[in-house]
Amino acid sequence: MSSEPNADRESLQRNDTVVRTERLYGWAIAASALLTILVTVGIVLALLGEALTFWSAVSPLSFFTGTKWSPIIDGEYGLLPLVSGTLIVTVGSALIALPTGLAAALYLSEYASERTRSVLKPALEILAGVPTVIYGYMALVYITPLFQGILPVSIRLIPPGLEPLPAFTLVIPSLQTFNVLSASIVVGIMIIPMVSSISEDALRSVPDELRAAAYGLGSTKYDVSTKVVVPAATSGIVASFVLALSRAIGETMAVTMAMGMSPQLPYFPNVFRNLAESSQTMTGAMVQIASADSLGGVTYEAMFALGLTLFLITLSMNVAAELVRRRFREVYQ
């Protein structure tokens, strides 16, 4: 540390050089903070630049409403199959993660002892820490063969001979090598901690007075948990759901590896076919274009258009979740 011989005790001032140097440090620190804004600006510019070029070559209408995505072979840039793929994976993973995550959050918050909680909570966090490539690999190489052994399955729900009810057999088709089911399963497992951690925070923030009041009225733990605590924490729980879904929409490697690259429109009425066959998400399409590696051209620009769409979707979901969360924080503070 340098000494300050010029500092005059009587003048109530410090050495000029020192003051100026410290101001410099302040500016350097402010510059770092500014850099974080530049990142966002960078993202927006990068995406907009190429996306707008793309949309001058391919009309946005045909992009957003087109039903065929085959950029490299046919030059078709219809978004709907990709949206369908993303949606099906997201819904599938939501079916797994949302109930499980909420149940886990409820257990950890209301039922678990401190010791159990101190073990289970970090264990759940591990689920989010596993690299997504490994999830994708496990889906492709272990989960798919496992299910392929079980399916196809046909269940006779309504046997023939029960007039006037039509005979109805539920047929779950066999699984292809690349299928949406395995992708949904691993993405579901991956996002459980997001739901459980944020929901648990929300459940724990519910003031104990509410619980005490309910117990005082003679409720069981089940009543208190399901009829008092969960409803009180609804906004936090909803926020966790939205954030988890946003994460699932943005997931790339696991879905690419498990689902393959065949964009499809959804199948109707055989809903299960959607899970059993290959598809492609928006993120998967981006990876596919990048792997083809042609710097420039409409296909390359399409990647940025997809990125912009994805960015806007996840941004609005995250902002919505944050607003919901802020509302719940205000209620109790």
Residue 164 has which token pair? 């006037």
CB of 40 to other proteins, least distance (A): 5
Please tell me the distance from the alpha carbon of residue 189 to that of residue 207, in angstroms, as a whole number: 30
Nearer Cβ to other proteins (25/268): 25
Nearer Cβ to other proteins (166/296): 296
Nearer Cβ to other proteins (94/273): 94
Burial status of residue 157 (CB atoms within 10 A of its CB: 0-12, 13-18, 19 or more): exposed
Residue 89 has which token pair? 């994976």
Please tell me the distance from the alpha carbon of residue 71 to that of residue 81, in angstroms, as a whole number: 12
CB of 134 to other proteins, least distance (A): 5
CB of 302 to other proteins, least distance (A): 12
Q: Which residues contact 279 (CB under 8 A, 6 or more apart)?
A: 81, 84, 85, 88, 89, 180, 259, 260, 262, 263, 264
CB of 166 to other proteins, least distance (A): 35
CA angle 48, 49, 52 (to 5 degrees): 70
CB of 161 to other proteins, least distance (A): 36
Beta strands, E only, 92-195? 153-158, 168-172
Q: Which residues, in sequence order, are bridge partners of residue 171?
A: 154
CB of 3 to other proteins, least distance (A): 3
Nearer Cβ to other proteins (118/169): 118
Cα–Cα nearest to 54, from 75, 38, 27? 75
Nearer Cβ to other proteins (180/243): 243
In which residue are the tokens 């929901």 written?
199
In one letter, which amino acid is 296? Answer: G
Nearer Cβ to other proteins (167/290): 290
Give yes or no for a contact between 132 and 189, defined as CB atoms under 8 angstroms apart.
Answer: no
Nearer Cβ to other proteins (228/303): 303
Nearer Cβ to other proteins (107/272): 107
CB of 160 to other proteins, least distance (A): 36
CB of 17 to other proteins, least distance (A): 7
DSSP 58: S
Contacts made by residues 70-75, CB under 8 angstroms, sequence distance 24+: 70/263, 71/285, 71/289, 71/298, 71/299, 71/302, 72/288, 72/289, 72/292, 72/299, 75/298
DSSP 70: E
